[in-house]
Amino acid sequence: MENRYLTMRPKVNRLKKKSEIERVFKEGKKFKEDFLILKLAKNSLNKVRFAFIVSQKVSKKATIRNKIRRRLRDLAQSKLKKIKKGMDVLLIALPGLETKDFWEIEEIINKLFSKAKLI
| Overall pTM surpassing 0.85 (yes/no) | yes
For residues 34 and 106, give the distance between their C-alpha atoms in angstroms, rounded to a whole number. 12
CATH class, domain 11-115, is alpha beta
Q: Could you give the strand order of the β-sheet that contains 48-53, starting from the edge strand earlier in sequence?
A: 29-33, 36-42, 87-93, 48-53
38 beta partners: 31, 91
For residues 91 and 93, give the distance between their C-alpha atoms in angstroms, rounded to a whole number. 7
Summarised one tens digit per residue, pLDDT across range 18-66 is 999 999 999 999 999 999 999 999 999 999 999 999 999 999 999 999 9
Summarised one tens digit per residue, pLDDT across range 26-37 is 999 999 999 999
Q: Which sequence spans correspond to the domains of the chain? A: 11-115
